[in-house]
Amino acid sequence: MNKVYCCFPGGKHKALTMSYDDGRTQDRRLVAIFNQYGIKGTFHLNSGFLGDERHVRPDEVAALYAGHEVACHTVSHPTIARCPLPSVAREVLDDRAALEALVGYPVRGMSYPNGSVNAGIEAMLPACGIRYSRVVGNSEGFSLPENPWRWQATCHHRHHLMELGEQFRALYKRQYLYLMYVWGHSYEFDEGDGWAQIEAFCRAMGGREDTWYCTNIALLDCLDDFDRLCFAADNSFVHNPNARDCWLRVNDGEPVCVPAGGTMRL
């Protein structure tokens, strides 16, 4: 029987994603650095703060974050584990609606304001249209998320960023899928040599042939596409019912693309 491994787009086995909160004006400089080195980011915005002196303007959101992901962070950034569930639902849904009116696509991602979450909030989010939400802290690992509604990043950009990046670049076993996930707030780069460090990181990590550069939601969509693939009992063929192509590696051969809606012998 064929040995089949799912791959990231292009047959890659590593993915890098970045995640930044609050929609501060420093996002403009950070997005420019990401764009220069081909890095993709997810930006979690509080719609209630857009347009004040510290945050980006509503009228620039679509263009500024084009090619990246806009996700929600609640309207007003409360510590939601202390709030009644109905008000949390309103904070999430109103934030989604306001952001969707700016970007023109469904906003399906989130990060918890102040890292605040409890079991009730986690259980409620799918009904609010949220596919994932990031917690705070550092896993220091490169595994895929087991629980997307309590998704912990590899590291904050102040936490061993360059060392972990070097470890990630050295990974080579193609039977695994690896993910490096970096989070933070762009205003933090104004302190010390923060901007020099994040540019050095992006320069070192960008443009690598073994790495897929993706937003948070693109990573989850890819994993969901994997789960919908329909394999023959003996792995001799596969049907892809998704609207996106999927990539596989069969018997340690070169990656193959299973086209959207297509059936392929393996």
Single-letter residue type at 79: T
What are the structural domain ranges in the chain?
A: 12-220, 225-265
pLDDT for position 110? 98
Quick check: helix, strand or coil at residue 264? strand
pLDDT for position 198? 98
* Residues of the chain predicted below pLDDT 50: none
- Please count the other Cβ atoms lying within 10 Å of the Cβ belonging to residue 28: 12
Q: What is the pTM of this model?
A: 0.96
Quick check: helix, strand or coil at residue 64? helix
pLDDT digits (tens, 9 = 90+) for 38-89: 999 999 999 999 999 999 999 999 999 999 999 999 999 999 999 999 999 9
pLDDT for position 160? 97
Separation in Å, CA 115 to CA 12, 39, 76, 82, 99: 31, 24, 14, 12, 21
pLDDT for position 252? 84
pLDDT digits (tens, 9 = 90+) for 99-110: 999 999 999 999
The answer to whether the Cα torsion of 6, 152, 192, 55 is positive or negative is positive
Separation in Å, CA 196 to CA 157, 189, 193, 199, 220: 12, 8, 5, 5, 30
Superfamily of domain 12-220: Glycoside hydrolase/deacetylase (3.20.20.370)
